[in-house]
Amino acid sequence: MASKYTLFLLLLLHFRSATCDQEQTNIIKLGFSLSPTNHPTSWLSPSGRFAFGFYQNGNGFSVGIWMMGEIENTTTWTANRDDPPVPSTAKLELTMDGKLLLRTDSKNSKPIASVRESASYAAMNDSGNFILYNKDHRVIWDSFSFPTDTLMGGQSLSRGAALFSSVSKSNRSTGRFRLEMQYDGNLVLYPIHTPNISVDAYWASDTSNMWSEKNLDLHLNSTGALLLINITDSTVDDKLNDGSLAFNNSIIFNGFYENKTTPLWSKPDDKCSVKSFCGFNSYCTLDDDQPVCRCLPGTDFIDTDQTSRGCERNFTEEWCRDSGRSASSRNIVRMENMAWDDPPYFQVKMQEDDCSKSCLEDCDCHVALLDSDTYCKKQKLPLKYARRDRQTSSTAFFKVGFEGVKKKQTGVNTSEEPPTVIIRTRDATVLLLVVTLGLVTWSFIALAISGLFAFKLRFLEYRKLLDRGDIGLSEELALRSFSYKELKRATNGFKEELGKGSFGAVYKGSLSRGKRIIAVKRLEKVINEGEREFCAEMRVIGRTHHKNLVRLLGYCAEGTKRLLVYEFMSNGSLADLLFRSQRRPDWNERVRIALEIAKGILYLHEECDAPIIHCDIKPQNILMDDFWTAKISDFGLAKLLMPDQTRTFTGTDVYSYGIMLLEIVCCRRSMEVNVQRPEEIVLSSWIYKHFEARELEKLVWGEEIEKKSLENLIKVGLWCIQDEPALRPSMKCVVMMLEGITDIAVPPCPTAASS
């Protein structure tokens, strides 16, 4: 629970006796030093109330200031707070030449205080301030001028300065939130690494318009009053609540020399209004009046031990198919009282059922929010600043697969009502089956009897063909139909798993007595359909021939079992090459791979016998052969499109290709949580920021790349991911742009294009 305290602005009462107001100090002379384990470990203030020195931090030690407590000490300031703890052999020294240094060994040292002149002595005051003085007894450095997460009595927060929360009570490194004293006179709470704009703020003092002047500092005086001071003429405006201010577990004095903490005031009142308390794709809700993070439907925690890091999808999108088949593979999860601050890519007034259906049938929609004014607002993931607010009259519709419904959400408290699952099924088909069931049953019996004799006759001929082992595997012959027993034997009982994709696991096998290596995919999430329909689709896929497509050699449709046999790709996937390889491909290789993939998709869309939409273009589905040629796998597993539907739905593949193209450019995933700055989490947003600022070289540090080539690939990628499908180019245009045949216009911001 300690991490939850990092969120709020606490107002605490600070009393001190008259004797405490006197500037009593303990003089620290040049040459004095401290050790983490040997006495002395700290320098005390005159009353012993505060100490400066080493304190325990995990398995090591940090340098800071703390208030001495009866049960435990309370840290109020930490030096170099984001540095790792130092060992017990470290030494803190006020050197003879007037420097305050932390020495980790005989060779390495780091200044605690950066000063332009030498100190003559130091002092730890009863105010909690550690000070360095020069020979004229003038202050040249003090800890009050460099606050971390706490403001003490007598301390000010100047314009443009900020307090930054700690990670937790035991980890004093920089946390996820900041309290900033703005130049306009407003005191504002923000998530860390966000601009000073209202959309990212979650609390403000609303004092920017109370004074005509703007040169105000925040000051906590010695009596515990929180004031805004005009530093020009030293006038005081007592417009904030009385008391002392602390950000994250702070300190007070109640009475004389008695250390206690008594929260008197905290902001914000709604704890779930704290933006970024929960990460992407998760939402904040109150449990026993404490904020907790839960995953949105269809997602799981990235790290169950750190739920604030957010959630990631637990299923693969498979709904970009024709309406007759897609209903069995997608669902809507409904949740009441949901709210977030992300702008939608589409909004229009409509009824609840229409809003749900509209999102369900829109390949770009991941969630729709129906607000109190009956505006249906469609969103894409990732979603940020989500919360469940009982005072908000709204309904959210989350689109998930069956796995997204069945999979239990980690950390969900059973006291909260579960989301409602709305399953769209093929009612018309079910009704038709019921009506014709009798006729089908009698027809099946008649056919089964006659078919039994034909099967026995052909079985003997078929067994003779099986002994040859190569029938169906040559380019000239059609797909071979395997039995389940054959493929089980070929894979040695499905022993060696090569990977697990969107539709199922892939196993390594061999045919022709080990002469032909194959890859066998066991389909796990296919739509229930007749064997005849499945075999017909496989034959259509078998007629696709392109150097950038993984060749389908055969299939198995036995009972409910569905397996596919592919040529074996020896060099793994593009995802392995980009994200996990020790040596990522050079720029020319990446350009070649991007063009090969584009040509493969173009063939599927426009050049094969029946247009095929992939619906799952991503680096994991691009495989590399013996010669490092890129080949698309898993094509055709989505329903084949009718010719008049092709233009409508191929834009989905174009969007996915654009995301993957940006991943190829930067050799990183489209969404990364473990990044230095939050703006780097979503790759497309990060790329567009540098594209707009003409800083593309920052995307490929350390590589020698021709700038025009880099710019062209990024422009193509940004065009492909436009929110408005009509703005996305066809794959034919994409190939022409990549080959330099067509000029590439400057793309608009993908988000702004839809608004």
Residues with catalytic annotation? 616
| The token pair that represents 477 in the structure block | 């012959």
Q: Which one, of 675, 645, 717, lies nearest residue 320 by Cα?
A: 645
Rounded-to-10 torsion of CA 275, 277, 283, 284: -100
Question: CA-CA distance, 206 to 483, in Å (whole number)?
Answer: 73
| Helix, coil or strand: residue 334 | strand
**Binding-site residues from annotation:** 521
Rounded-to-10 torsion of CA 451, 457, 462, 467: 150
Question: CA-CA distance, 301 to 304, in Å (whole number)?
Answer: 6
Write a three-state SS string for 352-390.
Answer: HHHHHHHHHHCCCCCEEEECCCCEEEEECCCCCCEEECC
Q: For the range 678-685, what are the long-range contacts, defined as Cβ-Cβ under 8 Å and sequence gap of 24 or more? A: 678/191, 678/192, 678/193, 678/194, 678/276, 679/193, 681/280, 681/382, 682/382, 683/659, 684/659, 684/717, 684/718, 684/721, 684/750, 685/751
Q: Do residues 323 and 361 touch, judged by C-beta distance below 8 A?
A: yes
DSSP 746: P
Question: CA-CA distance, 569 to 586, in Å (whole number)?
Answer: 21
Counted residue by residue, the chain has a size of 755
Could you give the residue ranges of the DSSP H alpha helices within 362-474? 402-406, 427-468
- Phi, psi torsion values for 589, nearest 5 degrees: -65, -40
Question: CA-CA distance, 50 to 75, in Å (whole number)?
Answer: 10
Q: Do residues 26 and 44 touch, judged by C-beta distance below 8 A?
A: yes
Rounded-to-10 torsion of CA 544, 546, 551, 552: -10
Side-chain-side CA neighbours of 475 within 13 Å: the count stands at: 3
Amino acid at 319: W
DSSP 605: I
Question: CA-CA distance, 404 to 744, in Å (whole number)?
Answer: 39
Per-residue CA distances from 365 to 356, 383, 402, 538 (Å): 10, 12, 17, 30
Q: How far apart are the first and last CA of the chain?
A: 41
Q: Which one, of 114, 107, 29, 38, lies nearest residue 80 by Cα?
A: 114
DSSP 117: S
- As to burial, measured by CB atoms within 10 angstroms (0-12 exposed, 13-18 middle, 19+ buried), residue 496 is exposed
Side-chain-side CA neighbours of 643 within 13 Å: the count stands at: 4
Rounded-to-10 torsion of CA 206, 211, 217, 220: -70
Q: Which residues pair with 78 in a beta bridge?
A: 64
